[in-house]
Structure formats: C-alpha cells, structure tokens
A and B are shown apart, each in its own frame.
Chain A
Amino acid sequence: MIVEDDSALRELLRDALEKRKYTVIAAADGKEALAKFRPSIVDLVITDLLMPEEDGLMVIMKIREIKPSTKVIAISGGGMAGPGSYLMMASKLGADAVISKPFLPSELVMKVKELLE
C-alpha cells in the first residue's frame, strides 16, 4: 500500500512497484489509507508522513494496532527539522525503514524487496 498525498509521486511509486509485479493499493492520505487497509492482503505500507487528514504517524500507530506484523516504510522530505524529525518519530513508532526524500525508485524497491523476503 502506498500512502502519499502528492499525486505525481504516488503514481510514480505505483508504476515502479507494479513494474516489479507487486500489487499496489494507493491512498492520498491517512484517512483513505486506513479505510482501504485490509490486514489479510496488505503486507507492506509505504507512507508519507506530512499529509492532510490523518498523517503518516497516525497511519503507523493505527496499523501497528490492527496488524503489528505489517512492514512499514516511512518516507518524508524533512518538513520538521531537528531531533524531533518526523522520520525519527516514525522510527520510534515502529516503522521498519525510513527513507528521506528525494530518493530513487530503485532504492525504495530494494527496501521493499528486503523487507518482504
């Protein structure tokens, strides 16, 4: 599952993952993601952190409650600087990996593969 409010990036990540034969569910914000999240079919969630409605930190917390074994990759462009950065908070909330934007799709795909193996 991809949770990203920027539509261009969301479609790019979808393309990159579908090309590698992953089935992708996409959501534009945390609220939509939680509505679409199905524990039986979602193995991994890639979530942006700064989003309208429910943000990525909430997505991580709630998914950790619903299905703790779900792998989570947090991505962020560093909107909140310093030691309290969103990526650091995502990591503390249990994200399995964090990736700073900008990144290459191949970097993300490699991380997805690593976490699902």
Chain B
Amino acid sequence: MSARKDKNQADNSQITPVNDPVADSRLGALAGGIAHDLNTVITTIYGYSEMALEGLADSPEAAENVRRIIGAADRARMLTRQLLDLSRQAAREKVPVRVAAVLDDTIDFIRPSVPEGIRILRRVTAHDAYVNAVPDQLFRVFLNLTMNAVQAMTPKGGTLTVTIGCREDETGIHQGDQCRELHIRFSDTGKGMDKALQQEVFKPFVSAGKEHGTGLGLSVVADAIRELRGTITVSSEPGVGSAFDIIIPGAFFGTLPEKH
C-alpha cells in the first residue's frame, strides 16, 4: 500500500488519494447496493415492456418504440454489471475485521429463526482481536457453523457455546499487539456425528446438515478458513454434540476502523 503511494508520488507531484481498503470496501458495498436497486427497477421496465409487446402485434410502430425502451434497459443493465464488478473487486480486498463484532452480527442475524429451547452463549476473551479478511468472509463462516449447530439441536434443544480467545493465553491477557493464533470454537450439544462423517464433513457435497433437514455444506467454511491461512477441525460424539475448532494465525489487537 505504502509502496504504491510512494511510487505515485515519485511519478508526479500531484496529491494522490491514499489507498484505503476500508474506504474501498465501503465504496464497493455502496456500488453493490445501488446496482441491486437499479436491477429491480430494470426488471420492472423489462417486464412491462414485454407485456406491452404482447398486445402490440398489430401496431408495428408502437412495438418498435417498446423495443427501444428494452434497448435502453439493456444499456442500463450493462451499467449495473459494471457497478457489480466494482463491488466484487472491492469485496475481494482484505481489511481488518474485529472477530467478536462479526460473531455479534451473526447471532443478531440468526436469532429470529432460532427455535425456543436453543441457547447461544458467547464466551469472548479476545474482544479486540482483529484478523485481515475479506468483508463478509468470516460472517459466512460463523453463519454456516451457527446454522449447522442450530439444525443439529432441533427439535430437542440445547446450547451452542462460541468462544473466541488467544491461543497462547485463554484468559485474553496478552503482551503487545499480537495474538499469534486466534482460537474460535463452536461447540454444540446436538446430535453429533459418527467418525465416518467427521472424516468426510469438510468435503464438497457432504453435509452433516442433511441428516438434520436443511444442512449447509461445511466445505464452504473450510475454503474460507484456508483463505485466512487457518485450520478447522471437528470433534464429535453421536448423541453428545460437536465442536468445531478454528485457528487463525496472525491476529492482532487494536482499535482500527471496522468493516465486516
């Protein structure tokens, strides 16, 4: 980041914008939001144009005008594609993400659909631990693991306990800004898995969730953790529950601007 800025400054004397990944990701999210809303409007334009054409078989001039409207909508569609491309480009950039905040967002998101009798407990000792991640990447991981746990505990009920702590020191007390390995654990009291399923569960198209109804593939979770240079393992016992342990290296403590 700084090298690029220095190069720009060396090339000319003009002030160049600082490459700010947090601002970029917010701009990307804004572009994506605008594209989403525009695509809805364009769908309506396409829709009524198509319906109008159906009734204009005997009016070639009017039909041609409607086709011109569709042509204009096609051009608008290309613009929204460009906006989405911009959004996707920004969405691939890694920014500091506060892990505990992502967990809060996940639980807030899923809570309305959690059946009665299922509790979700947070045991966070590393409140200010950050990792460099693509925005929404950790959210998807946490959402998948939470949903799988909820499904494993439905309809019997139970408790999902999520812990976040520094691996060197589970009390969260740390020296300096580094948390060499962040340990995140999702531990449920659900149906559990046998040994055979545990060995297969991170492979594509294998899902413990299918046993419970509407499962989510854990291969998506494993891919995301690999992108963070981390590891994920499972331990489980049928009838007792499952625990997923995630280790992410290179975490750090701080009060950086957030984007998750």
Query: Does A69 lie at the interface of the complex (its beta carbon under 8 Å from any beta carbon of B)?
Result: no
| Distance in angstroms between the alpha carbons of A101 and B35 in the assembled complex | 10
* B contact residues around A78 at 8 Å (CB): 32, 35-36, 39, 84, 87
Of A21-29, A36-44, A58-66, the one touching chain B: A58-66
* A contact residues around B139 at 8 Å (CB): 84
Establish whether residues B44 and A8, one from each chain, have CB atoms under 8 Å apart when the complex forms.
yes
Of B51, B134, B147, B213, the contact of A16 (CB 8 Å cutoff): B51
Nearest residue (CB) in B for A54 is B112
> Which of chain A's residues 83-100 have a Cβ closer than 8 Å to chain B?
84, 89, 92-94, 100
Separation in Å of the A105 CB from the closest CB of chain B?
5
Of B47, B91, B92, B139, the most chain A CB neighbours within 10 A belong to B47
Nearest residue (CB) in B for A53 is B112
- Sorting the interface of chain B by its residue count into under 10, 10 to 19, 20 to 34 or 35 or more gives 35 or more
Of B119-127, B176-184, B214-222, the one touching chain A: B214-222
| Distance in angstroms between the alpha carbons of A77 and B45 in the assembled complex | 14
Separation in Å of the A80 CB from the closest CB of chain B?
6
| Distance in angstroms between the alpha carbons of A92 and B213 in the assembled complex | 12
Query: Does A9 lie at the interface of the complex (its beta carbon under 8 Å from any beta carbon of B)?
Result: yes
Establish whether residues B213 and A77, one from each chain, have CB atoms under 8 Å apart when the complex forms.
no
What is the 8 Å Cβ interface bit string for chain A, positions 2-17, against chain B (1 contact, 0 not)?
A: 0000101100110110
* B contact residues around A116 at 8 Å (CB): none
Nearest residue (CB) in B for A100 is B39
Establish whether residues B113 and A61, one from each chain, have CB atoms under 8 Å apart when the complex forms.
yes
| Distance in angstroms between the alpha carbons of A65 and B214 in the assembled complex | 8
Of A12, A54, A94, the most chain B CB neighbours within 10 A belong to A12
Establish whether residues B91 and A93, one from each chain, have CB atoms under 8 Å apart when the complex forms.
no
* B contact residues around A80 at 8 Å (CB): 32, 91, 136
Q: With A9-B43, A64-B214, A101-B42 in contact, is A79–B136 under 8 Å at CB?
A: no
Establish whether residues A102 and B46, one from each chain, have CB atoms under 8 Å apart when the complex forms.
yes
Separation in Å of the B41 CB from the closest CB of chain A?
8
Separation in Å of the B158 CB from the closest CB of chain A?
17
Establish whether residues B214 and A81, one from each chain, have CB atoms under 8 Å apart when the complex forms.
no
| Distance in angstroms between the alpha carbons of A78 and B32 in the assembled complex | 7
Establish whether residues B43 and A82, one from each chain, have CB atoms under 8 Å apart when the complex forms.
no
Query: Does A76 lie at the interface of the complex (its beta carbon under 8 Å from any beta carbon of B)?
Result: yes
Other 20 A-B pairs with CB < 8 A, given A81-B87, A82-B136, A105-B46: A6-B41, A9-B40, A12-B44, A12-B47, A13-B47, A50-B36, A58-B113, A61-B113, A76-B36, A77-B35, A77-B37, A79-B35, A81-B91, A82-B91, A82-B92, A84-B139, A93-B216, A100-B39, A102-B39, A105-B51
A-B residue pairs in contact (CB < 8 Å), sample of 7: A9-B44, A79-B35, A81-B87, A84-B137, A93-B216, A100-B39, A105-B50
